Amino acid sequence: MPSWPMDITDAPRPNIAPPRRSPAVPGDERGAKAGPGSPGTAGLLQGVILLTAAFTLPAWGHGGEDHSHEGDKPAAVAVQTTPRTTTATEEFELVAALEGKNLTLYLDRYASNEPVAQAQVEVESGALKAVAKETAPGVYTLPGDRLAAPGKHALVITVQAGEVSDLLTATLEVAPPAAAVVQTGAGRGWLLGGGAALLLALAGGFWMRKKQ
C-alpha cells in the first residue's frame, strides 16, 4: 500500500483542557482600592490638615495688639439721619431740614415748583424766633442749635414774598442717636472654626471607612 504524506488537517487533535481560572476571592482586588496607608488617603488627610490650618490660624492667631481676645466685642457704629419735614399751602411748598447745626429751608412756589427768591422767612419754635438768611435762590438758613434735642419740634414759618404772604406750620421730629452692631473678627473666627471642625469630621469618617 503506497505511503502518502499525511495532511496536517487530518491529524488527530489532542484533547487539551483549557486553562483553569483561579476562583475570585472577595476583597482580593489588588490595586482597585486604596487602603488607609495608601498615597491617595495620605494626600487627602494632608490636604485637610493644611486647609484646617488656613481657616483657623487667621481667625484665632491674632486677637488684640497684645494677642488677647478680651477686646473682640461687637463694635457699635452710630447711624445718623437728617431730620426733615415738609409742609405746603396754596402758595408755597417748604422743606425744612436740620443739617448739622443749621436749619435749612427750601422754599418753592407750589404751582410751578419755582424757587422763591428774595423772600422774608421767619421761624418760630418754642424759645426760638429768628429770621432766616437766604444763601441761594429759594434756600434759607438759620441757627438750629435749639432744635437739636431729640423730640418733636413745632415750627411756625411766616413767608413774605413780594405782595404774597403766608403762614406755614410743620413738625420737625429729631430721633435719638441710633446704633447699629457690626460683626467683628471674633464672629468670623467662630464661623471659620466651625468649618474647620466639619472638615476634620468628614476626614475622620472617610479614614474609618477605608480602614474597614
Average pLDDT, the chain: 74
Q: What pLDDT score was predicted for residue 177?
A: 81
Using an 8 Å Cβ cutoff, are 93 and 113 in contact? yes
Region 106-128 average pLDDT: 96
pLDDT at 65: 52
Please say if the pLDDT value at position 176 is more than 60. yes
If pLDDT is split at 50, 70 and 90, which confidence band does 180 have?
Answer: very low
* Single-letter residue type at 7: D
On the question of pLDDT at 101 being above 50, the answer is yes
Q: With pLDDT > 90 as the criterion, what percentage of the chain qualifies?
A: 43
Q: CB-based burial of residue 68 (10 Å sphere; 0-12 exposed, 13-18 middle, 19+ buried)?
A: exposed
Confidence of residue 85 (pLDDT cuts 50, 70, 90): very high
Query: Considering all CA atoms of the chain, what is the largest pairwise distance in Å, rounded to the nearest integer?
Result: 156
Contact of 169 with 36, CB cutoff 8 Å: no
Pick the more confident residue, 187 or 142.
142
Mean pLDDT of 81-108: 96
| Mean pLDDT, range 158-165, rounded to an integer | 96
